[in-house]
Homo-oligomer: A and B are copies of this chain.
Amino acid sequence: MAEKSRLSLNQITTANWSVAQAVEGCARHGVRSIALWRHKIEEAGLKASVCAVNDAGLRVSSVCRGGMFPAATAAERRQNIEDNFRAVDEAAALGADSLVMVVGGCAGVGIADARQMVAEGVAALAPYAREHRVRIGLEPLHPMFAADRSVLVTIEQALAMAQVYDAREVGVVLDTFHIWWDPRVEELIARCAGRIFGFHVSDWLVPLPDVLLGRGMMGDGVIHNRELRHMAEQAGYDGPIEVEIFNRGLWDSDPDKVLAQVVERFEQFV
């Protein structure tokens, strides 16, 4: 069983809560870490967000998300990189363990060019992130998101991209929803030793209700979250474990009850 002290609430799981409400929720439920989303930080204000998490003594396991590098024109790509600089500023102010990268899809530019643009985007961002002591966490997404969200789709590919950089600066974020299907998942997680900057859990429901908003609560689907968590630990990861569930049904529920269930399922299945 994972220690409850490692549980981190990824704010998207309780999407109707503001930063302040999510922070209060964590305090109420004994959750010690939180992952914040940038649209929520913007809504609350960065300064107020920093105060809220500091006052509550919460660890910020990540800021979600930077990335989205590919674009048809050089001007747009430059703009995307500028936006990533702002994401680094926010992650630095919040003292986040890492800035999670959802690198962007191939639609509109083609997959080969998109991958090149991602490599260039990370290269442009890395020195700025280093200066601000923010770690870049490359998150491989499930291959079903290759067109619209992330051309980075396997652990192997994310690791290869990270390995260009110092292991203290660029690493990978493992989300069980995105990686559970990989026939080489055990071998690849082991190869990530020293570069795992984050670990996320949820579940894969059968049938899948929706590509984007159909993730399930741990225990409701086919993912062996505990096994995967063990693999990450074998590779040396002992940081926070984020529960990150994009689910329309959960979003329509009372966030406080959702968080109570998150805690319960975490102890039961992670």
CA distance A144 to B111 in the complex (A): 19
CA distance A210 to B148 in the complex (A): 14
Residue A147 is within 8 A (CB to CB) of chain B in the complex: yes
CA distance A107 to B110 in the complex (A): 34
Residue A154 is within 8 A (CB to CB) of chain B in the complex: yes
Please pick, from B143, B208, B224, the residue contacting A110 in the complex, using a CB distance under 8 A: B224
Chain copies in complex? 2
Q: Tell me the chain A residues, 97-121 only, with Cβ under 8 Å from chain B.
A: 105-107, 110-111, 115
Q: Tell me the chain A residues, 146-191 only, with Cβ under 8 Å from chain B.
A: 146-148, 153-154, 156-157, 180-183
How near does chain B come to A117, taking the closest CB pair, in angstroms?
A: 15
Question: CB-CB < 8 A to A156: which residues of B?
Answer: 183
Please pick, from B115, B148, B182, B221, the residue contacting A183 in the complex, using a CB distance under 8 A: B115
CA distance A154 to B207 in the complex (A): 21
Of A106, A110, A153, most B-chain CB atoms within 10 Å:
A106
Please pick, from B106, B142, B154, B157, the residue contacting A222 in the complex, using a CB distance under 8 A: B106
Residue A1 is within 8 A (CB to CB) of chain B in the complex: no
CA distance A180 to B112 in the complex (A): 11
Question: CB-CB < 8 A to A147: which residues of B?
Answer: 204, 206, 208, 221-222
Please pick, from B143, B157, B204, B206, the residue contacting A142 in the complex, using a CB distance under 8 A: B143
Q: Interface of A with B (CB < 8 Å)?
A: 105-107, 110-111, 115, 142-144, 146-148, 153-154, 156-157, 180-183, 204, 206-208, 211, 221-222, 224
Q: Which 10 A-B pairs have the closest CB atoms?
A: A146-B181, A143-B181, A144-B144, A157-B183, A107-B206, A147-B206, A147-B222, A143-B143, A153-B181, A148-B206
